Amino acid sequence: MSFADRLAFVRERVVAACARAGRDPATVTIVAVSKTQPIDAVTEAVAAGVDAIGENRVQEAAAKRPLVGGATPWHLIGPLQRNKAKTALDLFDLIETVDRPELADRLEALLGGSDRVLPVFLEVNIGGEAQKSGLNREASPALVERLLKRCPHLCLRGLMTVPPYDPDPQRSRPHFEALRRLARELETRFALSPLQLSMGMTEDFEVAVEEGATEVRLGRVLFGERRPGP
Ligand SMILES: *Cc1c(COP(=O)(O)O)cnc(C)c1O
């Protein structure tokens, strides 16, 4: 099956999930997560018209993006260290993993003086798992406030989460629901326009769409299994 065939199949599944939830499928974007996949696979994804490319490591994106070309936006979906922030700004159109004030401040400082405004998502550790990246739900209002007050070069577009791993997608549902509720709370509290929700991966994207995902991040269902590392 070609990438385009797989993408068409995924889109059908998104449309069906939207129908079950009474949603408009045009409100769901598909990010093709190309980590470990070779350049030609990423090029094929871009040619097939996927909405965005997602990579979780800055170094890997640095090796790939210049060779892929095209106008498709790239999203950073993995943890970002402060010392890689500058490189990340050169490679990504959107950063989904802002999860602490130091990182927001670093990005703001790097962008200060330019007229670029970077769209960002806050990554929320919605299951409250120890040793997982993302900020705790309770800490999110303070970070939103900081972005709004002190980071004019960052534009808060949405929330992102990776729920606790569970082979049964139905068990991810309460976490997706919790992220949606958090978004609505933040919108009300800070008078924001609707936040996007980046949630759902290969195993659970249909449940995520039923619960309001506006962006699903899909790796294996689009590219096949991940390639072994070098
Ligand atoms: C790898 C990854 C994905 C995609 O995972 P699949 O299960 O292959 O769809 C989505 N989000 C993040 C943050 C990832 O690291």
User: CATH number, domain at 215?
Assistant: 3.20.20.10
Choose which residue among 50, 56, 225 to substitute to test ligand 1 binding: the one with the highest number of ligand atoms within 8 A of its C-beta. 56
The residue segments making up the domain with residue 43 are 3-223
Q: Note whether 91 and 61 are within 8 A (CB).
A: yes
Q: Indicate whether 66 belongs to any domain.
A: yes
Q: Indicate whether 209 belongs to any domain.
A: yes
pLDDT beneath 70, residues of the chain: 229-230
Q: Indicate whether 230 belongs to any domain.
A: no
Looking from the CA of residue 218, the nearest atom of ligand 1 is 9
pLDDT of 230 reads 58
Q: Indicate whether 88 belongs to any domain.
A: yes
The CA 115 to ligand 1 mean position distance, Å, reads 32
What is d(CA 65, CA 55) in angstroms, rounded to the nearest whole number?
Answer: 10
Q: Indicate whether 229 belongs to any domain.
A: no
Ligand 1 pocket check for 227: Cβ under 6 Å = no
Q: Indicate whether 228 belongs to any domain.
A: no
- 134-171 per-residue burial string, b: 16 or more CB within 10 A, e: under 16: bbebebbeebbebbeeebebbebbbbbbbbeeeeebee
The CA 101 to ligand 1 mean position distance, Å, reads 24
Q: Indicate whether 87 belongs to any domain.
A: yes
Q: Indicate whether 133 belongs to any domain.
A: yes
pLDDT of 28 reads 98
- For the chain, the average pLDDT equals 97
Which pTM was predicted?
A: 0.97
Quick check: helix, strand or coil at residue 161? coil
Domains identified in the chain, total number: 1
pLDDT of 65 reads 97
- Atom 7 (ligand 1) nearest CA: 202
pLDDT of 227 reads 86
